[in-house]
Amino acid sequence: MAIRTPEGSVIIPPGGLQPAPPVPQPNIYPMEWRVETEELAELYERSKRQIYNPSDFPWDELRPEDFTPEQRIGIMYWYAVLANFDGSGPAVFAKATIHAFEMHTEDPIRKCFFSITRDEMNHEECCQRVIQKLVPGGPLDFSPKTDLERAAVNNIEWLYHNGGRYWKGYGESLHKYPLSVLFTSFMMGEVASSTLFFGMSKKARHPVFREIFKKVGQDEARHLAICLKILEKDWPGLTDEHKTLITKQLRAGFVFLSMILWEPPNQFWEIPEYFLANHRVLVQHARDGGLGVLTYDEQAENWRVALARVRAMVEAWGIEFPAIPELDLDGVDVGDIGPEDIIPVF
Ligand SMILES: [Fe+2]
Ligand SMILES: [Fe+2]
């Protein structure tokens, strides 16, 4: 029987309103915009103000004929190596964004993750555009004619194979690890990328590359600030078990990210024996083409300084740093690193 009320007034039945059933948790789409960390809300605002369009870079100034065929392949190769990292960015952070929604984190965390997803799509687009401009169809869908081209394609295929090894583990890690462990890996990735692009923006000779590295580097520095803010919130109150996990994650980050920042250590990477020798030749051509790739020693020094900074930070929270003998950094031995340990972020 319909309840009648005077026109314009709401219905409150005699027995009161019926409470809606509780929404099962975890669940997506929190119906609130809780702010606990004002700085994160500000970082999200900054991300909106600093947005740019990769289509607007002066691509006409990147003329294939200004480079030797070897330099074109070298630069394409370096960007393909980068794409092996940046290409995972949008999907990694899209998953993390969904996870943050499901976990009903405070609103600025959800929004910051969304902004990183957006930025990573731009970074990925930069890889795409440089590669398409210099080697149409690259990195994998063109017909290599020289030994150098064949070596480049083969190396890229091996990297792609390795990239494909951690994806399943990453998906599972979202539910396996607490956010503080995930954020530590994100932080390592952002330390690596901001270090890389800052160094290259100073060294690149070509104006288009300088412009790209400057803009991308600015994004990465903001991503790092976001991760550090979140960690500052999450690190106090860590259990010893989680601290041990974080120490291992730091080593996993080093193993994974060295591929683009320096050279891969002898762990995790499944690559043929000739990979590194060919990699060095290809990267040297990129260097000669004015891309701004640092020398082996400069890369090592840059990476070492960045990791020493991470060490100081984590030790302040009572988290041990892993041994990185490759860069003369001592610390704890964390044993084997497998695909399930890699949380890919850049
Ligand atoms: Fe990125
Ligand atoms: Fe990033």
Residue range 154-179: mean pLDDT, rounded: 88
- 342: pLDDT strictly greater than 90: no
* Ion ligand 2 — residues with CB < 5 Å: 220, 223
CB-based burial label for 52 (10 Å; 0-12, 13-18, 19+):
middle
How far away, in angstroms, is 248 Cα from ligand 1 center?
23
> What percentage of residues in the chain have a pLDDT greater than 70?
98
pLDDT in tens, 228-251: 999 988 888 889 999 998 999 899
> What percentage of residues in the chain have a pLDDT greater than 90?
74
Yes or no: say if 33 and 102 are a contact pair by the CB < 8 Å rule: no
Which pLDDT value is given to residue 172?
86
pLDDT in tens, 261-290: 999 999 999 999 999 999 999 999 999 999
How far away, in angstroms, is 19 Cα from ligand 2 center?
43
Which pLDDT value is given to residue 234?
83
How far away, in angstroms, is 346 Cα from ligand 1 center?
5
Which pLDDT value is given to residue 38?
98
How far away, in angstroms, is 89 Cα from ligand 1 center?
6
pLDDT in tens, 38-56: 999 999 999 999 999 999 9
Yes or no: say if 188 and 250 are a contact pair by the CB < 8 Å rule: yes
Q: Give, as one character, the DSSP assignment of residue 220.
A: H
Which pLDDT value is given to residue 21?
95
State the Cα–Cα distance between residues 87 and 17, nearest whole angstrom: 51
In the chain, where does DSSP find H-type helix? 38-49, 69-86, 89-102, 107-134, 147-163, 167-176, 179-203, 207-234, 240-261, 275-288, 296-316
Which pLDDT value is given to residue 2?
65
How far away, in angstroms, is 117 Cα from ligand 1 center?
9
Residue range 97-104: mean pLDDT, rounded: 92
Which pLDDT value is given to residue 1?
58
How far away, in angstroms, is 217 Cα from ligand 1 center?
8
- 338: pLDDT strictly greater than 90: no
State the Cα–Cα distance between residues 166 and 84, nearest whole angstrom: 12
The model's confidence at residue 158, banded by pLDDT at 50, 70 and 90, is very high
Which pLDDT value is given to residue 10?
96
Mean pLDDT of the chain, nearest integer: 92
- 208: pLDDT strictly greater than 70: yes
How far away, in angstroms, is 191 Cα from ligand 1 center?
11
Residue range 61-71: mean pLDDT, rounded: 97
How far away, in angstroms, is 74 Cα from ligand 2 center?
24
Which pLDDT value is given to residue 8?
87
- 184: pLDDT strictly greater than 90: no
- 4: pLDDT strictly greater than 80: no
Say which amino acid occupies 312. Answer: A
- 215: pLDDT strictly greater than 80: yes
How far away, in angstroms, is 236 Cα from ligand 1 center?
28
How far away, in angstroms, is 23 Cα from ligand 2 center?
33
How far away, in angstroms, is 241 Cα from ligand 1 center?
30
Which pLDDT value is given to residue 345?
66
Which pLDDT value is given to residue 340?
80
Which pLDDT value is given to residue 346?
63
Q: Is 147 helix (H, G, I), strand (E, B) or coil?
A: helix
- Ligand nearest the Cα of residue 223 is 2
- Ligand nearest the Cα of residue 112 is 2
Beta carbons within 10 angstroms of residue 13's beta carbon: 8
Yes or no: say if 135 and 76 are a contact pair by the CB < 8 Å rule: yes
- 3: pLDDT strictly greater than 80: no
* Ion ligand 1 — residues with CB < 5 Å: 86, 120, 123, 346
